[in-house]
Homo-oligomer: A and B are copies of this chain.
Amino acid sequence: MILKSLREEVLEANLELVRRGLVLYTFGNASGISRGDSLVVIKPSGVPYEVMKPEELVVVDLDGKVVEGKLRPSSDLPTHLVLYKAFAGIGGVAHTHSRFATAWAQAQREIPCFGTTHADYFHDSVPVTKPLTPKAIRSDYEVNTGHAIVRRFVKLDPLHMPGVLVAGHAPFCWGATPTEAAHAAVVIEEIAALAMHTLTANPKARAISKHLHDKHFLRKHGGSAYYGQKK
């Protein structure tokens, strides 16, 4: 069995999505990449999480060809592969249909940055992709979903914006590792819930200032970060 430790981390990232209540039945998947081997480890399609073992995960190359594993990979694999190819700095991808983030994706509205919880992780509004054309839906749908995400990020840095809402679908998140990708999926759900309730309390709520946004983002990211323990 190759990539044992990556398999274990990817499995653990999948289980984190379940533990945090982001996943109903099999509505979610996480993957990780070994950049050195150009190989991706991903959850198999439609298999219950509770019984999943590291050896059941599927190893594929960047064209999606199965290199090791007896089961079909997640049907969202082509989207993951597009993201790994376009975003050189990421090491993991997580996709869920978590309740509040999915509601914003369905509403086809960006999540405004109403507060510091958001600013700690996302360096702007959480973006939404444009809807796919009928043609892009008809063939290579999952690949085209990835392209829609990449197009939305032409002017954005994926390491400063660890997730996106796919219009009419749900969030895709990522990070330097599968663990961080799952973490981003948990956080995007919390941000989405906070923003929803903020609008209920005040339909005219406004985003926080760019100053406050930068302050919080840079407390946790970059050279002058001072959150957490020294490494």
Contact = CB atoms under 8 A, between A and B. Distances in A.
Interface stretch (A3-11, A30-38, A109-117, A173-181): A109-117
Contacts of A161: none
B230 A72 contact: yes
B24 A186 contact: yes
Interface stretch (A82-90, A152-160, A199-207): A199-207
Nearest to A193: B99
29 contacts: A24-B186, A24-B187, A25-B183, A25-B187, A44-B229, A46-B227, A46-B229, A47-B229, A75-B219, A97-B194, A100-B197, A102-B115, A102-B117, A103-B197, A104-B201, A106-B115, A106-B201, A107-B114, A107-B198, A107-B201, A109-B201, A114-B168, A115-B168, A115-B170, A131-B212, A132-B212, A138-B215, A196-B197, A200-B200
